[in-house]
Structure 1
Amino acid sequence: LEVSVSYNVMALDGQRPMQLGIRDVFEHFRAHRIEVIQRRTQYDLDRALERLHILEGYLAALDRLDETIATIRGSKDTEEARGALEQLLSIDATQAQAILDLKLQRLTGMQIQDIRDEHGDLTAKVEDLRDILARPERQTSIMRDELLNLSDQHATARGSEIDNSLSKVSAADLIPEEQVMLIGTRNGYLKRLPADAMSRQNRGTKGRSIIALDDDDVVTTFHSGNSHDYLLALTDQGQVHAVKAYDVPDTGLGNRGRHYRNIYEGLEGDVVAMLTVPDLDSEQASLVIFTAGGYVKRTALSAFSGAKRRGGVQGIRLNDDDLIVCARISSDPESEEIVMTASGSRAIRYPLDEARAIGRTSQGVRGIRLKDGESVLSAEIVHQDSLDTSHLMVVTRKGVGKATPLTDFRLQSRGGQGVTAHAPNKKSGEMVAAAVIGPGVDVVLFTDEGGANRVAGSAVPKNGRATAGSSIIRQGSVTNLLAVPATEDGSLPSNED
């Protein structure tokens, strides 16, 4: 149904070339088929009348069989016999000749009955053929039956299903599923991009502009997921709002995007964290919220089903000096661990089930103990099965970064101070962002100038905890980083952008 075919029909109409539209094509085809039926019926009628005329001569002879035989035997030749039969039976020369050509074996009782039966059948056929010629509706019916018969004989099976239940198809069903990146700014602008909108670059390059920023604006929130997932937005007031990810406009590279309030109804405050979930009614999954003050709060995801309505629902009670850093989804608390990083170049790893599930409006429990002036930079949930293949990537404001195996961070109890994750120096500067990366992952680094650099996770330098790392991006101050699915080809272009 999505394929358009150009069809230029030039045909003879009354011996004149004419360009026909689709309706004219069908009208001419119908007229042609009716003409074929009429001419075929007239031909059959003419042949039937000819045969019926002969049979009527036979019947006239059979009714006076003895006289007919005597007349033929008393004639000197065929010409005399034909003339005598015409006078005797009141028939014409054609009928008389047919009688003369009749074999004697046809004069048996059975053969005589066959002649009478054929005459009766042919009389009925003539009446039917005349009725067809006299009634256009019968001609149309014959044309329809013949077309249906052709369809039954030669049609191929339909390759697609025709369903009259159009109400089952929603607007969401017509939107393709794809991996997307969702990027937000401090001034409240949000945009969606396909995850493959950015090609990989070598580490140490300048990056490229993916979002237009005002002079006083920076990228503050980001996430990746499926276009049909729910996009949860957490505000600085602790409210949780939800829309479908495809409801966020795709404005392309370099544009500013749309303001949050044009996407989320009844939103108040600033969006500080986002994440995507396939289903808001899940009973097994939990929403885990992390704050800058070191708190962690785990709540059943089903408690946030009302986030789709105007104004959203409350997700956490925040202290006056605290704010949300990020949020994650947990599906198996007994087999998952939390990795939190703090601005003091420290990180802590502890079991997720130590953060017990609580209600929506509570504050949460302490995840990491901070020193004065410190705050949480990032937090991630890691399944125990992927610990051996996962790394904690840290990056500094000057674009220096590294990846350290998670197993280098010993498992601790919740609420501890953690261990060293980075050794800052004058070249690197202080640590400003972190993320857990694994196989098949790329990382995107964001700068305060609106630029971004996408690098293969495998290309990030692997170093121990007490090291600084190597340059990854060299223009602008790094503000955050995002882990996204790797590109399919995994290639690294050699040119610098």
Structure 2
Amino acid sequence: MSRTPELPADDQIAERIEDVDVASEMQGSFLEYAYSVIYSRALPDARDGLKPVQRRILFQMSEMGLRPDRGHVKSARVVGEVMGRLHPHGDAAIYDALVRMAQSFSLRVPFVDGHGNFGSLDDGPAAPRYTEARLAPPALAMVESLDEDVVDFVPNYDNSFMQPEVLPAAIPGLLVNGASGIAVGMATNMAPHNLNEVAAAAQHLIANPEATLDELMEFVPGPDFPSGGTIVGLGGIRDAYSTGRGSFKTRAKVSIEQLTARKSGLVVTELPYLVGPERVIEKIKDGVNAKKITGISDVTDLTDRKRGMRLVIGVKTGFNPQAVLEQLYRLTPLEDSFNINNVTLVEGQPQTLGLRELLQVYIGHRVSVVTRRSQFRLTKRRDRLHLVEGLLIAILDIDEVIQVIRTSDDTEQARTRLIDVFDLSTLQAEYILELRLRRLTKFSRIELETERDTLLAEIAELEELLASDLAIRTLVADELGDVAEKYGSPRRTLLTEAKQQPAGAKRRKQAPEDLEHADVPCRVFLGVTGRIARVDLPIREEGPTTITVPKRRSKHDAVRSALDTTSRTEIGAITSRGRLVRFSPLELPTPAANSVQLGAGVRVHDYLALPDRSERVLAVVPLTGDVPIALGTAQGVVKRVVPSAFPNKPDFEVIALKPGDELIAAAPAPDDAELVFVASDAQLLHFPASAVRPQGAAAGGMAGIKLGADARVVHFTALSADEVEQAVVATVAAGGETLMGTDPGSAKVSAFAEFPGKGRATGGVRAQRFLKGEGELSVAWVGPEPALAVGSDGSTRTLPEPGAKRDASGTPLEKVVGAIGRRVG
């Protein structure tokens, strides 16, 4: 029989009702919710660059032993462990964070090694029961030394487990991998960067705490996206590095290729950050259907694991591919915007930080980690030394120790008597009582004495380290360098200046074929440090075209090669491998109107996307004309080739090099020019260019200079008839027993007229007398006066005044000269 529960009296119910102001309750609840979202979910910590869920995933995977040298486990298991122990916000959020840390297109340095379908830019990942995961090698640098009291541990959500408040983070994860998140009333969007560049900037800031933003940007010129692409416009990057906020545009890497004999197309090999090929294809189809995009015949996605990204866009016959590309940049995600908003947690407070402040916070964290680690290790070694010293006492008087123990009634009495008789501590006495008989051999005593000596040396080293703030900061810098060397990779994203538009000009909805970029005269400059820039020249009806030289010369302004052309004309870059690579100067940065500052240029190796970092670009040359190009190799071979003999290929060999040989230089050389070789043994040879008949592109050249034993060519050039009289010879000799680039050596500058001409394939004449200790020429240059010498970083160096005798010795230099080139003027 059911019973109806007795209801409380009305006055009892009334006592449980409290009047609450709705506005106050909503305000308080909302603030608590906002606080939770900001600090526990959405914003990364500036020290390790991780959100709480990411930090907990890496820590738990480390606790589970999911190291790179062990097998993968199901992602569902990782998600379950993280959710059950540390993160009570649901499995979907945990798996999403795990997936992102495994995607190479999302993070510049992934921390999770995924096995299975972890998604793409257009598709989501498979369910966690189908995928497997383990820590990637870089993740070990994030969690190393956690057992050495390097960071504070805090309780989990129910106080049943402990978790790190922050990871040690030997990798500057916030700058390297970036971050994005939406909190309450604020959001963060940080771009990924190159690990090598960030580590170099941090090392520079450690060595120079007062370093300016401009100095740091010499190391970190801009973001480096996992997908590559091109950043157009550096002004927004500087704003972001200065204030924490800025925006810039990113472009896909697109090349114009001949798809068939009669059809050209656009081949996309890199897309803007987080833009997938399906999204691009969809926008192109929508534009074509709406008749906003013209000139497109078809779009084919040939992306696969072997070739990577490859999106082929066919261009209809009669349309200018370059104009079609500009149209696609405006109307599709082939050009996208990236807005930087560096909001991060610093000491528990959301702050917007620039590049310098982000590096300072990270360096401070690493200094704290290294200090606490060193103190922990010092304590451990002192404790161990204390026990080892007690064992040595016991072994030296082992018979008496045994007698004391045997005559004791119990363990407590034995411990007390050992302390009194041998003046031991409680820990030492306890350790001796637990000593095994096998440790009483003579060999064990030798081991203990060796261990004692090692511990004393390590303790002294740690005490010296902890006593010096400079030593700790130096160790932090060294560890950063080791991490960068181990996990760093070359830059993928190209940086270029934006095209200037007239003030107040509105962007046109339709792009006429040839009006986006006029085919204007320009001059392309290649610097000796590998930077390339373009200067647009005014169109003049009469008189020569001139350019303006900046009053204050910047870095990298020594010129290796220059070429007059037009912005839409293809030109060639000749490399040290004997190759010619076709390219267009259209996207080259233009430092300023009618002026030259190669420091604002782009690295030519990155611009041409050369696959091998050791391949150097030596000259820029025309692809048409009848003026031969002279080529000189390190083994003394010379060749002249006419541009009209070049095949119509994107890249090809211009000289057949012998094994072990490489190209040194290339320059225009008409018949009345003078070809000049300078060898490492200080021999200079010059002879008329007419002595070398032009050959085809496949030929291997002929003997140019006869080299001595172990000598090689260090400089080759072609002087025009107008340059011969005013040319100078600049040589720099280095020590024969010192590392190249460390000894400034000596230099001299002589008039080229002092060097008599010799026949081709002869040894030439001496160009510099070596001082004691000097073994060879490290740098040489022949060209019109004056010469401009630079260091390896592009900064200018001072050469002796011209006028030295042909075979005189050099004048000692104060700084190392890395290269010599022409001055612009």
Q: TM-score, normalised by structure 1?
A: 0.50
**Alpha carbons of 1:394 and 1:228: their partners in 2 closer, same or farther (altered >3 Å)?**
farther
Q: Any conservation in 2 of the 1:227–1:246 contact (CA below 8 Å)?
A: no
**Could you tell me how far apart the structure 1 residues matched to 2:646 and 2:518 are?**
21
- 1:363 to partner: Cα distance: 1.1
Deviations 1:462-493 (A, max 9, x none): 1111112335x622x3232111333xxxxxxx
Residues 404-443 of structure 1 aligned to structure 2 (within 5 Å) = 404-426=750-772, 430-438=776-784, 441-443=785-787
- Residue 318 of structure 1 is aligned with which of 657, 665, 680? 657
- Residue 578 of structure 2 is aligned with which of 238, 241, 244? 238
Secondary structure of the corresponding residue to residue 263 of structure 1? helix
**Percentage of identical aligned residues:** 20
Q: Does 1:393 align with 2:735?
A: no
**Could you tell me how far apart the structure 2 residues matched to 1:259 and 1:180 are?**
10
Which of the pair has the greater relative contact order for Cα pairs under 8 Å at 6+ separation? 1
2:789 partner amino acid: L
**Could you tell me how far apart the structure 2 residues matched to 1:256 and 1:388 are?**
32
Residues 174-323 of structure 1 aligned to structure 2 (within 5 Å) = 177=522, 180-184=525-529, 190-192=531-533, 209-210=555-556, 222-226=560-564, 228=566, 232-249=572-589, 257-258=602-603, 260=605, 262-264=606-608, 270-277=614-621, 279-282=622-625, 284-304=626-646, 306=648, 309=650, 312-323=651-662
- 1:294 to partner: Cα distance: 0.2
- Residue 822 of structure 2 is aligned with which of 483, 486, 489? 483
Deviations 1:307-329 (A, max 9, x none): 5x2xx011111111111101111
**Alpha carbons of 1:460 and 1:180: their partners in 2 closer, same or farther (altered >3 Å)?**
farther
Q: Any conservation in 2 of the 1:298–1:364 contact (CA below 8 Å)?
A: yes
**Could you tell me how far apart the structure 1 residues matched to 2:613 and 2:646 are?**
19
Q: Any conservation in 2 of the 1:272–1:325 contact (CA below 8 Å)?
A: no
**Alpha carbons of 1:255 and 1:383: their partners in 2 closer, same or farther (altered >3 Å)?**
closer
Q: Look up the match of 2:701.
A: 364
- 1:223 to partner: Cα distance: 2.9
**Could you tell me how far apart the structure 1 residues matched to 2:774 and 2:586 are?**
38
Secondary structure of the corresponding residue to residue 690 of structure 2? helix
Q: Any conservation in 1 of the 2:572–2:623 contact (CA below 8 Å)?
A: no
Q: Look up the match of 1:116.
A: none
Residues 31-42 of structure 1 aligned to structure 2 (within 5 Å) = none
Secondary structure of the corresponding residue to residue 757 of structure 2? coil
**Could you tell me how far apart the structure 2 residues matched to 1:273 and 1:258 are?**
10
**Alpha carbons of 1:196 and 1:432: their partners in 2 closer, same or farther (altered >3 Å)?**
farther
Secondary structure of the corresponding residue to residue 478 of structure 1? coil
Secondary structure of the corresponding residue to residue 635 of structure 2? coil
Residues 61-76 of structure 1 aligned to structure 2 (within 5 Å) = none
- Residue 460 of structure 1 is aligned with which of 790, 801, 814? 801
**Could you tell me how far apart the structure 2 residues matched to 1:297 and 1:485 are?**
28
- 1:184 to partner: Cα distance: 4.8
Secondary structure of the corresponding residue to residue 462 of structure 1? coil
**Alpha carbons of 1:225 and 1:470: their partners in 2 closer, same or farther (altered >3 Å)?**
farther
- 1:369 to partner: Cα distance: 0.5
**Could you tell me how far apart the structure 1 residues matched to 2:725 and 2:601 are?**
39
Secondary structure of the corresponding residue to residue 803 of structure 2? coil
Which one has a bigger Cα radius of gyration? 1
**Alpha carbons of 1:267 and 1:376: their partners in 2 closer, same or farther (altered >3 Å)?**
same
Q: Any conservation in 2 of the 1:349–1:412 contact (CA below 8 Å)?
A: yes
**Alpha carbons of 1:180 and 1:358: their partners in 2 closer, same or farther (altered >3 Å)?**
closer
Question: Which range moved further: 421-430 or 351-360?
Answer: 421-430
2:583 partner amino acid: V
**Alpha carbons of 1:198 and 1:320: their partners in 2 closer, same or farther (altered >3 Å)?**
farther
**Could you tell me how far apart the structure 2 residues matched to 1:414 and 1:170 are?**
50
Q: Any conservation in 1 of the 2:779–2:820 contact (CA below 8 Å)?
A: yes
**Alpha carbons of 1:301 and 1:393: their partners in 2 closer, same or farther (altered >3 Å)?**
same
- 1:349 to partner: Cα distance: 1.2
Deviations 1:411-464 (A, max 9, x none): 2110001100011214877422222232xx54332323x143166x9x732111
Q: Any conservation in 1 of the 2:590–2:601 contact (CA below 8 Å)?
A: no
- 1:263 to partner: Cα distance: 2.6
**Could you tell me how far apart the structure 2 residues matched to 1:182 and 1:339 are?**
20
Q: TM-score, normalised by structure 2?
A: 0.31
Q: Look up the match of 1:32.
A: none
Secondary structure of the corresponding residue to residue 465 of structure 1? coil
Deviations 1:272-314 (A, max 9, x none): 343233x4121x211211100000011111222635x2xx011
2:616 partner amino acid: V
**Could you tell me how far apart the structure 2 residues matched to 1:407 and 1:210 are?**
29
Let me know the Cα RMSD of the aligned residues: 3.7
**Alpha carbons of 1:349 and 1:177: their partners in 2 closer, same or farther (altered >3 Å)?**
same
Secondary structure of the corresponding residue to residue 353 of structure 1? helix
- 1:342 to partner: Cα distance: 0.3
- Residue 666 of structure 2 is aligned with which of 290, 303, 327? 327
1:340 partner amino acid: F
Secondary structure of the corresponding residue to residue 466 of structure 1? coil
Secondary structure of the corresponding residue to residue 644 of structure 2? helix
Q: Look up the match of 1:339.
A: 676
**Could you tell me how far apart the structure 1 residues matched to 2:716 and 2:598 are?**
28
Secondary structure of the corresponding residue to residue 271 of structure 1? coil
Deviations 1:53-75 (A, max 9, x none): xxxxxxxxxxxxxxxxxxxxxxx
**Could you tell me how far apart the structure 2 residues matched to 1:370 and 1:245 are?**
38
- 1:344 to partner: Cα distance: 0.3
Q: Look up the match of 1:129.
A: none
Q: Which has the higher strand share?
A: 1
2:712 partner amino acid: S
2:561 partner amino acid: H
**Could you tell me how far apart the structure 1 residues matched to 2:512 and 2:795 are?**
43
Q: Any conservation in 2 of the 1:285–1:300 contact (CA below 8 Å)?
A: yes
- 1:368 to partner: Cα distance: 0.3
Secondary structure of the corresponding residue to residue 823 of structure 2? strand
**Could you tell me how far apart the structure 1 residues matched to 2:655 and 2:524 are?**
29
- 1:352 to partner: Cα distance: 1.0
**Could you tell me how far apart the structure 1 residues matched to 2:613 and 2:623 are?**
23
- 1:168 to partner: Cα distance: 4.7
**Could you tell me how far apart the structure 1 residues matched to 2:647 and 2:518 are?**
19
Q: Look up the match of 2:719.
A: 382
**Could you tell me how far apart the structure 1 residues matched to 2:678 and 2:723 are?**
19
**Alpha carbons of 1:173 and 1:404: their partners in 2 closer, same or farther (altered >3 Å)?**
same
**Could you tell me how far apart the structure 1 residues matched to 2:796 and 2:823 are?**
12
**Could you tell me how far apart the structure 1 residues matched to 2:576 and 2:824 are?**
28
Q: Any conservation in 2 of the 1:183–1:192 contact (CA below 8 Å)?
A: no
Deviations 1:166-206 (A, max 9, x none): 545461536x7356343555xxxx443879777578xxxxx
Deviations 1:235-287 (A, max 9, x none): 34322112234534468776894472x4336756743343233x4121x2112
**Alpha carbons of 1:227 and 1:401: their partners in 2 closer, same or farther (altered >3 Å)?**
farther
- 1:227 to partner: Cα distance: 7.3
Q: Any conservation in 1 of the 2:528–2:821 contact (CA below 8 Å)?
A: no
